[in-house]
Amino acid sequence: MQKMKSTPETDQSIIVTVDAVLFALREKKLHVLLTRRPNEPYAGQWALPGGYVHKQEDADSLAAALRVLRSKTGIAPPYLEQLYSFADGARDPRGWSVSLSYFALVDEAVLAKARLAASAPPFELVDVNAVPRLSFDHNRIVEAALKRLRDKSAYSTLPCYLLPEQFTFAQVHETYEHVMAVALDKSAFRRKLTEMDVLQECPGQRVGGAHRPAQLFRVKVDLVHRLRLLERPLAANLST
Amino acid sequence: MQKMKSTPETDQSIIVTVDAVLFALREKKLHVLLTRRPNEPYAGQWALPGGYVHKQEDADSLAAALRVLRSKTGIAPPYLEQLYSFADGARDPRGWSVSLSYFALVDEAVLAKARLAASAPPFELVDVNAVPRLSFDHNRIVEAALKRLRDKSAYSTLPCYLLPEQFTFAQVHETYEHVMAVALDKSAFRRKLTEMDVLQECPGQRVGGAHRPAQLFRVKVDLVHRLRLLERPLAANLST
């Protein structure tokens, strides 16, 4: 207690927020969720969903991120990971600030459903290749999240969180290709996925025409809500 | 400005510190640098070097980490990376707090030299396998740093930062083995290092007996102060 009193009061008044980069696939393209800021600074401008840590209410920064995402998007993403903390005196016009940044992946159908709710907060999905000028330093936060997503996708089941619970092999293949921004040989990719032992067939579940219906897969039950890391990358990617 | 005023004052008084896990090799074993806390809470107890962010003085969290390390260890580590932010209401008895945590690697000779300075601050190097009970949640911060170091060593030049500027092949081999806690076949490791193209021979520099003196190497000049990431891991490690 002694130390806290002897520290200049101004050094304690640092702004602490949580901000989240939420990725989803729309029309097979990677999108990021944006909101319009209701208040100054940057009122009416695009921004990531975010807000102050409420120290009376949030047990920790993860709880704060979940609360903010719930209030700004209506959903609780199945995969949420701390990305990085952006902390400096210039990123927020109100003063020295810390953004405890998270990134999340979600099936777009879940977002679409959340929008139908009566209390749906307004948000937009924007193509990651067409992100407008955002409030604060949120553009660099999106860039960092995109890099993390691509790096991590090369050696984990991360992209599966962008898919519905059940998906075809073609869907998981094109999702990895799209997220990693590389072409992945279909049969080599299928062989690696099999080696990884992360997917299971959904018995009797097939989609498509009666002629050659496609088998449906899902992430193995014990791997849902956590990542399976691979010893060797699925393929080199562009961002390292 | 408007929003800040409407936010409860208490939500703004979050403690923000930087804390650093500094690794060095002593007698070929990985050690972590600890200090004794001069003030309450935990006065006299072991802790990581750390301190409040000084918002008048620190441009950003990296500058804050460098300032704290300079004042608590007398050195500026050549490799310093943000590890994670530990942020919750329970980790500090003074209240809701954020630890912007960093990790660093340094040649032990540099630390030994810093200790000889007249103004040398007191610190100890402790074997990572014999870390005592630390203040706050610093034990979990050390664990997280150790995991990051091991994961990253498998596919980068990170462990080279533990070595002096010039080193033998035997030194770099045993450093990777020790950091990753695995046995690495010598000739396969030598082949991979050669493929990676990250080391250069120091011309005319050899150590050891006149009979079979060992060639000295150094990290290629353009790779100093940044990591070279590898497409494939050098070897699987234990921590993933």
pLDDT tens, residue by residue, A82-119? 999 999 999 999 999 999 999 999 999 999 998 888 67
pLDDT tens digits, A186-235 = 998 898 888 878 888 988 767 776 667 789 998 887 665 555 655 555 55
pLDDT tens digits, A135-169 = 999 999 999 999 999 988 887 888 999 999 899 99
- For testing the chain B interface, which of A4, A19, A92, A155 should be mutated: the one with the most B CBs within 10 Å? A4
The verdict on B12 touching A (C-beta cutoff 8 Å) is yes
Query: Does the structure show a pLDDT above 50 at B175?
Result: yes
Is B29 in a helix, a strand, or coil?
strand
pLDDT tens digits, B120-160 = 778 999 999 999 999 999 999 999 999 999 988 887 888 99
Chain B residues touching residue A12 (CB < 8 angstroms):
13, 15, 52
Q: Indicate the pTM of the whole model.
A: 0.88
The two tokens of residue B81 are 């990376």
| Gap from B54 CA to chain A (nearest CA, Å) | 6
pLDDT at A42: 97
Query: Does the structure show a pLDDT above 60 at A48?
Result: yes
The verdict on B96 touching A (C-beta cutoff 8 Å) is yes
Instruction: Find how far residue A91's CA is from the centre of its chain.
Output: 22
- For testing the chain B interface, which of A6, A55, A91 should be mutated: the one with the most B CBs within 10 Å? A55
ipTM value, please give it: 0.87
Q: Could B1 and A41 be called an inter-chain contact, meaning their C-beta atoms sit closer than 8 Å?
A: yes
Q: Could A87 and B229 be called an inter-chain contact, meaning their C-beta atoms sit closer than 8 Å?
A: no
Verify cis geometry, omega within 30 degrees of 0, for the bond prior to A164: no
Chain B residues touching residue A8 (CB < 8 angstroms):
56
Among the listed residues A126, A171, A4, the one whose alpha carbon sits nearest the alpha carbon of residue B97: A4
The neighbour count for residue B23, using CB atoms within 10 Å, is 26
